[in-house]
Every structure is written in structure tokens, then in C-alpha cells.
Amino acid sequence: IRNENNFVQGRGNRTEIGTDNTYIMGENNTVQGYSRNNIIIGTGNEIENGINNAIVFGTKANAMNDNSIDLGGNQGTDILGERQAIHLMYGRQTTQGSETDSYLNNLQNNYFQPPENSIFYFHADVIAVRVGHTGGGDPPAGSVGDYASWVERGVLINQSGTLRVNREKDAIKSNGTVTDWRPRSDVSGSNFIIKVRGETDVTIEWNCYVRMTQIQTSVAL
């Protein structure tokens, strides 16, 4: 019954209770359960419990986030997720001039949480565009369609449960009145955050496409 809506091709694959609308082609892959609309192609990959809409390729990739693309480049003897690339997206709409969090999949209070003893090089392509004016009185300077773009990048490490980030930012191209706009990556507790700052009474849409190159170790960093 639990595999009624799944397509599984290959040996040793396992779909736990609550897996639905999932495609697996390969060997020894696992979907932990209560997950929907996922694709796995390869060997020894795993989708964690409750993850939806993930695409997983290669060998021993570990999908930990909704709407992610995960590529594992491992030997069969490597640990799960030892070498992998992860593609994620953060988003937010802002109407204020103070720094605030953007969210993984634009879902409030949702963030990427690096596992212990892992290290990442991250590269975030960030774009923001003005879509409106929300305040009363005279509108702030600028026009709908003003935009700015940046690359936010650096190294993120989880050392035995303690997150640290070492980052830098490059402005790419912009147009219009965007003086105070900016992104900044940060950590808080177990969360990796991309903070954004817009402008008071200006409605700005943000999209942050994050690519991560991961090493997960079996030793304490």
C-alpha cells in the first residue's frame, strides 16, 4: 500500500511508510518516509524524513531540504553525504529599511541547518527588484523596476555543533535608487541565514540562489 503511487526500479531500494509520488532508479537508495514528489537516480542515496520535491543524483547524496537538488560524488565506502553539492533557494519580500532574515523556500522561519562536522563553500546569487510603494504620503525616491544584484560567498563550518561563517560580498549590477539595499550571510544557533536589507515603505522582492559544495567528515572538526 505504501508504494501504490511510487515507481521503484532496481535492487535494494527502500521507501518507508508515508512515501508518495516518488521515482527511484538505481540501487540501495532510501526514502525515510512521509515524503512526497521526489526523484532519486543513483546508488546509496537517501532522502530524510518529511522532505518533499527533492531531486537526488549520484552516489551517497543526502537530501535534507525541500525543493533541493543534491548531487553525491562518492565511493560506495564513503559516508553518506561525504562529498556532495546542494542547490537551495532563499526568498523574502521586504518593506522596511532594517536588516531581516530571508527564508529557505520563502517559508517563514525556515533555514538550512548544516550537520555536525561538515564544511561548505557557498555561493549565493542574489537579486532584488522593487515592485511597489507601501507607505503613505510622498513615495520614496526610485521607481518600480529598480533592481540590484550581488554575489555573497564564503565558507560555512559546523564544528561539533558550533556554526561559523567566513564571508564576502561583491556587488554586480544595479539600476535605479538602491543605495541601502544589501544581503549578508550569517549564522544563528543551528541555522544558516541570508539576511537582506531593503528600504522603508518600498516593496522589494528578493531571491537568493545558493549553491553549496560540502564535505562531511566522520571526525570532530
Residue 118, phi then psi, degrees to nearest 5: -130, 155
Q: Which of 85, 91, 105 is nearest to 211 (CA)?
A: 85
**Residue 160 reports pLDDT greater than 80:** yes
Q: What is the pLDDT of residue 120?
A: 98
Q: How far is 95 from 195, CA to CA, in rounded Å?
A: 14
**Residue pair 58/27 in contact by the 8 Å Cβ criterion:** no
User: Could you give the count of Cα atoms lying within 13 Å of 152 in the half-sphere of its Cβ?
Assistant: 21
Q: What is the pLDDT of residue 138?
A: 82
Q: What is the pLDDT of residue 73?
A: 98
**Residue 1 reports pLDDT greater than 70:** no
**Residue 37 reports pLDDT greater than 70:** yes
Band of pLDDT at residue 176, cut at 50, 70 and 90: very high
What are the CA-CA distances from residue 84 to residues 11, 63, 89, 121 (Å)?
23, 10, 17, 11
Q: What is the pLDDT of residue 65?
A: 98
Band of pLDDT at residue 3, cut at 50, 70 and 90: low
Q: Three-state DSSP class for 109?
A: coil
Residue 34, phi then psi, degrees to nearest 5: 50, 40
**Residue 139 reports pLDDT greater than 60:** yes
**Residue 190 reports pLDDT greater than 60:** yes
Please, what is the average pLDDT of the chain? 96
Residues 6+ positions from 137 with CB-CB distance below 8 Å: none
**Residue 135 reports pLDDT greater than 90:** no
Q: How far is 180 from 168, CA to CA, in rounded Å?
A: 17
| pLDDT tens track for 61-96 | 999 999 999 999 999 999 999 999 999 999 999 999
Predicted TM-score (pTM) of the model is 0.94
Here the cell at position 186 is 550569517
Band of pLDDT at residue 2, cut at 50, 70 and 90: low
Of the listed ranges 1-5, 110-114, 217-221, the one predicted with least confidence = 1-5
CB atoms within 10 A of CB 75: 10
**Residue pair 210/90 in contact by the 8 Å Cβ criterion:** yes
Q: Which of 109, 58, 111, 108 is nearest to 88 (CA)?
A: 111
Q: Which of 130, 204, 208, 106 is nearest to 167 (CA)?
A: 208
Q: How far is 165 from 154, CA to CA, in rounded Å?
A: 7
